[in-house]
Amino acid sequence: MQLAVVILLDDETAHHSNAVRNGIYRKYGRNPALDAHPHITLKMGFPAQDTAPFENFVEQIAANTAPFEVSLRDFGFFDEGILFLNVEPNHELENLRQRVLTGLLEQYGVTAEVVEGPQFHFHVTLAYGLSKRDFAELKESFSQQELRVAFQAKHINLFRHTGRQWVTCNRAPLCGVSSSSPNPLSRQSWNPN
């Protein structure tokens, strides 16, 4: 089994992200980015035998983390053929990621991947696995589009891979957030056209 630790986008931002992803799907066909709800990764997939210890771990981290704002700005591209929403540098987000990585290593021996080092770039993946031609066209289309969105991170999610897709197996509210509390958008200017 594979698990990952992520922050899901709030409903409004996820809705708009999914609209972009669906537009890409309609034009270029299916790609693996559709296999997970739009999210910001704190810890990439790692093997585990059971979810229970990691559910507890995520709950402990969340209980000691105050809600914080996350800002997304414009589209970006990784050379590997990945289109993403760029997450602006954020001390709270990086501090949380480091606490997750350190805790997983110290408590469970889960090591970080090479790309999870100091150069880690926070992002929300929109598409990958396209042909070089399709990706070049996509890059040209999105490189001039502007986007600014901000939302309050209020939960940490533990993802589990089903063999086909990533699903949430635990959603832990951050300190002071009700477990049933919605995750409202704090401010947005979504106009990627």
Establish if 160 belongs to a structural domain: yes
Establish if 13 belongs to a structural domain: yes
Q: What is the model's pTM?
A: 0.88
CATH code assigned at 64:
3.90.1140.10
State pLDDT tens for residues 3-12: 999 999 999 9
Establish if 170 belongs to a structural domain: yes
Which two tokens mark 99?
Answer: 């606490």
Establish if 11 belongs to a structural domain: yes
For β-strands 2-8 and 155-161, DSSP reports them as antiparallel
Establish if 6 belongs to a structural domain: yes
In order along its 193 residues, the chain shows pLDDT tens digits of 999 999 999 999 999 899 999 999 999 999 898 889 999 999 999 999 999 999 999 999 999 999 999 999 999 999 899 999 999 999 999 999 999 999 999 999 999 999 999 889 999 999 999 999 999 999 999 988 888 999 999 999 999 999 999 999 999 999 988 765 444 333 344 444 4
Domain range for 158 is: 2-180
Could you write out the DSSP letters of every residue in 121-132?
--EEEEE-S--H
Phi and psi angles of residue 127, each rounded to the nearest 5 degrees, phi first: -160, 145
Phi and psi angles of residue 7, each rounded to the nearest 5 degrees, phi first: -115, 120
Establish if 189 belongs to a structural domain: no
Establish if 193 belongs to a structural domain: no
Which two tokens mark 179?
Answer: 């477990």
| Domains: count for the chain | 1
Establish if 114 belongs to a structural domain: yes
